[in-house]
């Protein structure tokens, strides 16, 4: 009889990711590639599959545990085989991973929102996700002094923000600023209400977006690109792309044009050091692409955009978009971005102000193109104009540089021949 141990696979640079779902119990029979455990980092959800069909013998983790690459999750044997008895003194089963302890459930008479251990008590480790822990670090909030209002005392982003606003744990970047709180309203007193829980992806987005907003001084530069010729060129390639099984959209051209602008203005392809006293310029070009899913906004990353043509980019965009919408993103799919594009063109609108995806220093927002009359020196002619909105970290980038960047980007988009330069 052969016993298999299912372990945490390669999850990139993450350590201590959350176990958010356990789909099996001892005695369950599973097939090959059956998703038995679901793990979640602050950027992606990963289902761990079984390497072989079999019967679950023992599950070593539970919801709320934290695991890292190589940690054992469960053991299983071939279907129909009974596990051999294990010697009592030295069990052969792998030991469960060392996971952060979770607060014990509150007694039946206690409120559902139980606080975590008080500062200095040393009785428990604060129960919070990596994203919430990062937000707490950004706001200089001590998690041991935060009351968790989530399930089983789990600390949510909102709990950290309450402490930060009250000045109990300090303000943004350790400034000690106490922010005014939003009034608590009893909405039900005015009429019928319904409370809809946020998805895990959206809850994690709350922490990341708020951390970026309170730490990054945002400015947005707006502009327009004349994409009349680009759209004509794209349409001329439609049949060729279709035969290759590729859906060729404007986004693939946008990505190539952005890389051209990033090469010309390298500060936009950088990040500030933690002390904010230097820029780290990256010599690689990995673009984050915001994708709207049923669970909320996710940002998969397309790597090495400078080394790929528009056809290859279009194919990869389709593949990564499908993985994002089906919750099948791999850890490498959401890591290493140097610049982000958020394209709302298919949904409408004329402009918006995207939030910088820190620690990046800039993000491009794209709205729906429209045909408008443009003066060509002799008369008005119809041209297709694409609205562009560039948000940037004013600590790293000046307004003049942002204006030059968006002008260079528009110039490249106006003439598709420039994409090969």
3-state secondary structure of 419: helix
Average pLDDT over residues 255-275: 95
Q: Give 36-69 as a DSSP string.
A: EEEEE-SS-EEEEEPSS-EEEEEE---TT-EE-T
User: Which of the four CATH numbers 3.40.50.2000, 2.40.50.100, 2.40.50.140, 1.10.630.10 does domain 3-77 have?
Assistant: 2.40.50.100
Q: Which residues pair with 37 in a beta bridge?
A: 22, 48
Q: 361 versus 196: which is more confidently predicted? A: 361
Model pLDDT, residue 170 = 40
Answer yes or no: are the C-beta atoms of 127 and 92 closer than 8 Å: no
User: Residue 259 — pLDDT band, cuts 50, 70, 90?
Assistant: very high
pLDDT at 91 exceeding the cut of 90: no
CA distance linking residue 200 with residue 6, whole number of Å: 25
CA distance linking residue 273 with residue 96, whole number of Å: 38
pTM: 0.65
Q: 275 versus 138: which is more confidently predicted? A: 275
pLDDT at 302 exceeding the cut of 50: yes
Phi/psi of residue 142, each to 5°?
A: -80, 115
Residues annotated as catalytic are 394
Q: 127 versus 192: which is more confidently predicted? A: 192
Lowest mean pLDDT among 166-175, 333-342, 384-393: 166-175
Answer yes or no: are the C-beta atoms of 375 and 369 closer than 8 Å: no
Short-list 421, 354, 338, 418, CA closest to 392 = 354
Task: Please give the mean pLDDT across all residues of the chain.
Answer: 82
Model pLDDT, residue 97 = 43
Residues found in the chain? 421
CA distance linking residue 137 with residue 178, whole number of Å: 16
pLDDT at 125 exceeding the cut of 70: no
pLDDT at 108 exceeding the cut of 50: no
CA distance linking residue 235 with residue 262, whole number of Å: 26
Using CB atoms within 10 A of its CB, is residue 324 exposed (0-12), middle (13-18) or buried (19+)?
buried
Model pLDDT, residue 13 = 66
3-state secondary structure of 281: strand
The strand pair at 339-343 and 287-289 is best described as parallel
Average pLDDT over residues 385-408: 97
Every domain of the chain and the residues it spans? 3-77, 106-215, 218-420
Q: 369 versus 293: which is more confidently predicted? A: 369
Q: Looking at the structure, give the CATH architecture of the domain made up of residues 218-420.
A: 2-Layer Sandwich (3.30)
Lowest mean pLDDT among 6-15, 49-58, 131-140, 277-286: 131-140
Model pLDDT, residue 374 = 95
- Between helix 228-236 and helix 399-414 the angle, nearest 10°, is 40
| Residues whose CB falls within 8 Å of the CB of residue 188, separated by 6 or more in sequence, listed in order | none
Proportion of the chain above pLDDT 70, given as a percent = 80
Model pLDDT, residue 14 = 72
Short-list 314, 305, 303, CA closest to 252 = 314
Answer yes or no: are the C-beta atoms of 345 and 367 closer than 8 Å: yes
pLDDT at 274 exceeding the cut of 80: yes
Mean pLDDT comparison of 15-29, 231-245, 385-399, highest-scoring range: 385-399
User: Residue 207 — pLDDT band, cuts 50, 70, 90?
Assistant: confident
CA atoms within 13 A on the CB side of 252: 23
The strand pair at 54-59 and 29-30 is best described as antiparallel
Model pLDDT, residue 418 = 85
Lowest mean pLDDT among 147-161, 313-327, 380-394: 147-161
Average pLDDT over residues 252-267: 97
User: Residue 93 — pLDDT band, cuts 50, 70, 90?
Assistant: very low
CA distance linking residue 50 with residue 28, whole number of Å: 12
Other beta carbons within 10 angstroms of residue 259's beta carbon come to 23
Answer yes or no: are the C-beta atoms of 270 and 361 closer than 8 Å: yes
User: Residue 235 — pLDDT band, cuts 50, 70, 90?
Assistant: very high
């Amino acid at each position: 009889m052969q016993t298999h141990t299912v372990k945490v696979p390669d999850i990139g640079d993450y350590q201590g990711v959350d176990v958010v779902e356990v789909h099996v119990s001892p005695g369950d029979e599973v097939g090959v590639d059956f998703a038995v455990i679901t793990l979640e980092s602050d950027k992606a959800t990963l289902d761990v599959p079984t390497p072989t069909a079999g019967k679950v013998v023992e599950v070593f983790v539970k919801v709320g545990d934290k695991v890292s690459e190589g940690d054992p999750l469960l053991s299983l044997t071939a279907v129909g085989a009974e596990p051999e008895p294990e010697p009592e003194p030295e069990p052969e089963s792998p030991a469960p991973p060392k996971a952060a302890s979770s607060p014990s459930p509150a007694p039946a008479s206690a409120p559902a929102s139980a606080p975590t251990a008080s500062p200095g008590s040393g009785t428990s480790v604060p129960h919070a996700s990596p994203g919430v822990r990062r937000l707490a670090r950004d706001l200089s909030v001590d998690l041991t002094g935060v009351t968790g209002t989530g399930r089983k005392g789990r600390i949510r982003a909102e709990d950290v923000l309450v402490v930060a606003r009250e000045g109990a744990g300090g303000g943004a970047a350790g400034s000690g600023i106490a922010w005014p709180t939003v009034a608590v309203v009893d909405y039900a007193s005015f009429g019928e209400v319904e409370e809809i829980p946020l998805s895990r992806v959206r809850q994690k987005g709350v922490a990341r977006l708020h951390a970026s907003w309170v730490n990054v001084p945002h400015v947005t530069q707006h502009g327009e690109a004349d994409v009349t010729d680009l759209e004509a060129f794209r349409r001329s390639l439609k049949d060729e792309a279709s035969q290759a099984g590729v859906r060729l959209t404007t986004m693939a051209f946008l990505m190539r044009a952005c890389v051209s602008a990033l090469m010309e203005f390298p500060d936009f392809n950088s990040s500030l050091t933690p002390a904010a006293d230097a820029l780290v310029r990256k010599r690689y070009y990995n673009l984050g692409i915001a994708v709207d899913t049923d669970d909320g906004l996710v940002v998969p990353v397309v790597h090495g955009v400078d080394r790929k043509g528009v056809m290859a980019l279009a194919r990869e965009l389709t593949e990564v978009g499908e993985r994002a919408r089906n919750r099948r993103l791999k850890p490498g799919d959401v890591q290493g971005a140097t610049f982000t594009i958020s394209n709302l063109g298919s949904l409408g609108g004329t402009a918006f102000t995207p939030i910088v995806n820190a620690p990046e220093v800039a993000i491009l927002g794209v709205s729906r193109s429209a045909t408008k009359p443009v003066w060509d020196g002799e008369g008005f002619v119809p041209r297709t104009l694409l609205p562009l909105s560039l948000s940037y970290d004013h600590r790293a980038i000046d307004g003049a540089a942002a204006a030059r960047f968006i002008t260079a980007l528009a110039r490249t988009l106006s003439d598709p021949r420039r994409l090969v330069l």
